[in-house]
Amino acid sequence: MLAGLAVLAAGCGKSTGSPPGKIVLAVDVPVTGSPYVAQTIRNGAGLAVDRLNGGGGITVGDRKYKIVVKLYDNHLSARRAVENTRRALSAGAVAIVTDGTGVPATWQLARKDSVPIAITYDGATGLVDPDTRPNVFRIAPTNHAIAFRLAEYTIPKGLKVGLLHDDSAYGQEGAKDVDSAFSANPKSVATRMTLPAVATDLSAQILRARRSGATALLVWGQPSTIAAVLTAARTMGWNVPVFTPPTGADPYIRQRLADHPDWVDGLTFASGRMTAEVGAAPFKAFQSQYEATYGADKVGVTNSKGKQVVQPPEFAMYPYDFVNVLVAALTKAGSVDPHKVLPELNQVTTQGANGDERGFNEHNHEGVVDDDIYFARFHDMTYSPVPDDPLSSTLPTIPQTR
Amino acid sequence: MAAGRTRTELGRALADARAAWGSPAWVAVAAIALAAAVPFLSLPWVRVDALAQTVYLAVTATALGLLVGTAGLPSLGAGAFVAVGAFTSALLVAREDWPLEPAALAGALAALAAALVFGGVVRLRPAFVAASTWALAWLVWLGLLAFPSISGGSQGLIVPDRNLLGLDATPTVHFEVALALLVLTALGIAAVRRGAPGLELTALRQAPPLAVSLGVRLGRRRLGAFAASAFVAGLAGGLSVQLAAVADPASYDPFLSFKLLVAVLLGGAAATLGPAAGVAVLGLIALASGPLARALQLPLERFDAAVAAILLVFVLALGGGGIVPWATRRLAHLGWFQRVRPSLQVTDCYKEEERREVPGGLVLHAQGLRKAYGGVVAVDALSLELVPGEAAALVGPNGSGKTTALRLLSGAVAADAGQVVLGDRDVTTATPSERVRLGIARTLQTVTTFPELTALEDVLVGRSVRRRYGGGIRTALATPNARRETAASEGAALEALALVGLRDVADVETQALTTSERRLVALAAALATEPDVLLVDELAAGVGADELERLAEVVARIRSGGIALLLVEHNLRLVRLVSDRVLVLAAGHVVAEGSVEEVAGSDAVRQAYLGAQTL
């Protein structure tokens, strides 16, 4: 009897399909692990969905559909991401938008149903491969690009860089790319160090870095790690320049160092540029739309003039853009069947929130090109593009105070 | 011929099963069928993958129940064995491209090996077992975190897709496999609980010194249960990790072990299905605590841990019996369910083992035994001899060393000097269980029976030393030899009870018997070990004068079987009734030895001991 049930079971476990007239979009993000990232992705996707639904929904084939967003919390756990992916597939999701947690495991599950997974935050190398993972896409700056741009930016300055990373998955992944980026210039590396992600006091490690002769620090880690590094360095009177990946822009750092805003001054991070060649207008329009819907993302600190500092919704662009690409693919496919939609994702392009073109093809599932990485530096709790980088110097400063 | 024997045994097994089949079995079959059908009912609130993980957890908990409930070892390390199984399986699948089934089996074997390495903890007292296994849980978890090259770091090791038993390993397939595993584990555990291994573990839990005195090997039995529990946990871990698709250290933290123990205690460690019920209850509570944690904005993991801890306190405060035993008692009280002890069926296949020939006429020879505790000499220069069928008495005032002498002869304490020879074999360095196997059995002075067992079960504990096919695996699989031997053992145990005149109370729990009956049950248990020498401590303690004749008859029957007895007695009337020879101890020395009349007339004896008493 059990054997017979098992045979039946092999054919079961398929999704129940989307409710009629509705298209399910799953958003799997670390609500309880990294709330800012989760909120950004959720809001970005939600903004696109609200705009589309507000216009009466989307037309696929000869039918109108409204998009329903189902939010799942992956707790920054790959295992939880797998469970959420199963739930999303059972709910009939046509796509899954994620920060990137657990993709090495979840893509296999989603692949069986031809459901695309869109990574909109994690730039780790190896996550995206059109040949082996044809259902995984990314619209976010890649770690590889950021690491090489950081090397490109710091090495010519003659800096001796201390390469620090924390032991989180994010830190360890980034460290590989950083090592690769600096491998051609070993003399520019003063020291390499792994920092405990959970530690709040990194004085000993920063002292070691100082003693190694480092004249700059490149810190690849969680916002808490970056905050701890700044605290340790500035407390001992070491005004070393600190460079970071996009996590340097996380509001958490400024919240932690709200009592010492001068410690944040000079912090430089690399990220995908907010504005495009067409100018700042598209992004500003997106920002207005975002803030009209969700309110400005208050960082929780003020600048020296007492104005509230807000965070531009730069990472919200990416899930927003993916939703638009997805809708274009749905429309082109004329069907909500993921098996028909997935191939079309390689065929369509749309205009992104900042005016850049967003799209994929069979050989490239990266939606942010490596050349679009810029640098921004903090001053008085806000940041602006650096003047000493060819790309960054052409970009406008997005207002960040209210 | 072998095929014919197999057919015969299968026929017997089916006949036994048919005879034992009743409404509880039908209820169980219906429950299993209903459970198996759940994934096909398309219930909207049911997540089959979560159900399958829960059932795998129930498998682990069921095996843990044998260790906690029957053996009395509160292990807080089950999660460690699940982790060992999971990561072994994951590594083999992910890095060596193994199929899932051998990888999961390898995981189980790895967990078994870990249990054997760590198995020394089973000799500790329960509190230290808990502490040691808790340390093991931490050790394994921290080890996984410390070696990200093995464990995949904080995000874990990705487990590629594999088939399971030739089928696409969907959550539904995993659920059915887990359910089958649960049923098999429960059946195996139930068989072990009922059989010789279960009896021995129960005996070791209730009265370790008494069990050891009957030849039960404490270390081996407990290690067997520990290892079996670990094997099943490793197998469950090895399979469930494939369902999870990720082996991440965070899922195998020490809290998993804690949760498993809570489930066992909550559901009832004494019941085979109690742990599974406990897992189900914890699962339901987790479902409810999710929304509550979100409403209170608490991390669910910490909230879950807090709920489990509160439940544990609750269960312990209510006596620690658990849900299933409570429910069983209520149903029995309402007459819906009666606990049925298997009826005694002594088959014709029972074959009396031949009594061992004891050469040379002497069955026991002790020479120059000495034992001192610090500066106090308990026994010094003790020498005695026994011949088959003889009854000798060892008498003396309190503190004269009588019980120490028995302990020296039985091996319960090691002698500082001297020699003990059984037949032609020097047993001076043999352990107590080895001496029982060789033919020296002993009853204890204070602890006479196992309180939770019936008289028959008590005697079966003693009989188990003579079993060849009473191991855990044979019992779980109910092999033909094991079943035949079980029937034979029951026959021998009943004979031993009959010899002491208690055949009619075989099914009565020992705590319901009188003091003298319990002492006779203890005597029967020792007789069931088929000793050549029986060391009896205070047989007449607490016995009325009118029962002395009955005891004397029992002793006479034992002697007539060729067994030599050495009785330690305060009741000098019984000594006069049964003894051929008396040795008088005073301050650890033999001050007189001879027939009853010779000793009774000795001034030295009177001076040292008798005083107003006479033999």
For residue B378, pLDDT over 50 is answered with yes
Both tokens of residue A270?
């690399």
| Residues of A in Cβ contact (< 8 Å) with B170 | 9-10, 12-13
Among B17-31, B237-251, B291-305, B585-599, where is mean pLDDT lowest? B291-305
pLDDT for res A45 = 97
Cα of A103 to nearest chain B Cα, Å: 10
pLDDT for res A351 = 93
Residues of A at the B interface (Cβ-Cβ below 8 Å)? Answer: 1-2, 5-10, 12-13, 16, 32, 77-79, 82-83, 86-87, 90, 101-102, 104-106, 108-109, 167-169, 172
Which of B156, B160, B180 lies at the smallest CB-CB distance from A78?
B156
Three-class secondary structure assignment of B154-222: HHCEECCCCEECCEECCHHHHHHHHHHHHHHHHHHHHHHHHCHHHHHHHHHHHCHHHHHHCCCCHHHHH
* pLDDT (average), residues B575-584: 89
Cα of A328 to nearest chain B Cα, Å: 31
The residue among B155, B239, B256 with the most chain A CBs within 10 A of its CB, best to mutate, is B155
| Residues of B in Cβ contact (< 8 Å) with A90 | 47
The residue among A5, A28, A71, A195 with the most chain B CBs within 10 A of its CB, best to mutate, is A5
Contact criterion met (CB < 8 Å) for B299 and A101: no
Contact criterion met (CB < 8 Å) for B47 and A8: no
pLDDT for res A367 = 94
pLDDT for res A331 = 95
Contact criterion met (CB < 8 Å) for B244 and A82: yes
pLDDT for res B353 = 44
Which of A6, A79, A106 lies at the smallest CB-CB distance from B173?
A6
pLDDT for res B66 = 95
| Residues of B in Cβ contact (< 8 Å) with A167 | 148, 153-154
Residue type, B449: T
Helices B2-20 and B480-499, interaxial angle, to 10°?
Answer: 60
Confidence of residue B323 (pLDDT cuts 50, 70, 90): confident
* pLDDT (average), residues B428-433: 91
Residue B436's SS3 state is helix
Cα of B149 to nearest chain A Cα, Å: 12
Hey, how many other C-beta atoms are within 10 angstroms of the C-beta on B8? 11
Cα of A30 to nearest chain B Cα, Å: 12
Cα of B409 to nearest chain A Cα, Å: 56
pLDDT tens, position by position, B499-521: 998 999 999 999 999 888 999 99
pLDDT for res B422 = 92
| Residues of A in Cβ contact (< 8 Å) with B156 | 78-79
Residue type, A340: K
Q: Are A402 and A296 in contact (CB under 8 A)?
A: yes
Q: Are A85 and A111 in contact (CB under 8 A)?
A: no
**How many residue contacts between A and B have a Cβ separation below 8 Å?**
93
Cα of A10 to nearest chain B Cα, Å: 6
For residue B350, pLDDT over 50 is answered with no
pLDDT for res B1 = 67
Which of A2, A77, A102 lies at the smallest CB-CB distance from B176?
A2
ipTM of the prediction:
0.80
For residue B601, pLDDT over 80 is answered with no
| Residues of B in Cβ contact (< 8 Å) with A104 | 155, 158
pLDDT tens, position by position, B581-590: 899 888 888 8
Contact criterion met (CB < 8 Å) for A101 and B155: yes
pLDDT > 90 fraction of chain B, expressed in percent and rounded: 51
Both tokens of residue A156?
């010519």
* pLDDT (average), residues B524-549: 88
pTM, two decimals, is 0.84
Q: Strands B417-422, B364-373: parallel, antiparallel or unpaired by DSSP? A: antiparallel
pLDDT tens, position by position, B270-297: 889 999 999 999 888 888 777 777 777 7
For residue B438, pLDDT over 70 is answered with yes
Hey, how many other C-beta atoms are within 10 angstroms of the C-beta on B454? 20
For residue B610, pLDDT over 70 is answered with no
Hey, how many other C-beta atoms are within 10 angstroms of the C-beta on B410? 24
- Cβ within 8 Å of residue A181, ≥6 positions away: A147, A148, A150, A151
The distance from CA B152 to its chain's CA centroid, rounded to whole angstroms, is 39
d(CA B312, CA B327): 18
Contact criterion met (CB < 8 Å) for B155 and A5: no
Which of A83, A167, A168 lies at the smallest CB-CB distance from B49?
A83
pLDDT > 70 fraction of chain B, expressed in percent and rounded: 91
d(CA B90, CA B96): 9
- Cβ within 8 Å of residue B158, ≥6 positions away: A78, A104, A105, B94, B152, B245, B246
pLDDT for res B440 = 93
Q: Which residues of A301-328 are buried (b: 16+ CB within 10 A; e: fewer)?
A: bbbeeeeebbbbbbbbbbbbbbbbbbbb
| Residues of A in Cβ contact (< 8 Å) with B33 | 1
> Which has the closest alpha carbon to B579: B561, B599, B601?
B599
Residue type, B263: A
Both tokens of residue B90?
């994951």
For residue B349, pLDDT over 60 is answered with no
Residues of B at the A interface (Cβ-Cβ below 8 Å)? Answer: 33, 36-37, 39-40, 42, 47-50, 148, 153-156, 158-161, 165, 167-168, 170-173, 175-177, 179-180, 244-246, 248, 250-251, 299-300
All residue ranges of chain A with pLDDT < 70 are 1-20
pLDDT tens, position by position, B59-92: 999 999 999 999 999 999 999 999 999 999 999 9
Confidence of residue B352 (pLDDT cuts 50, 70, 90): very low
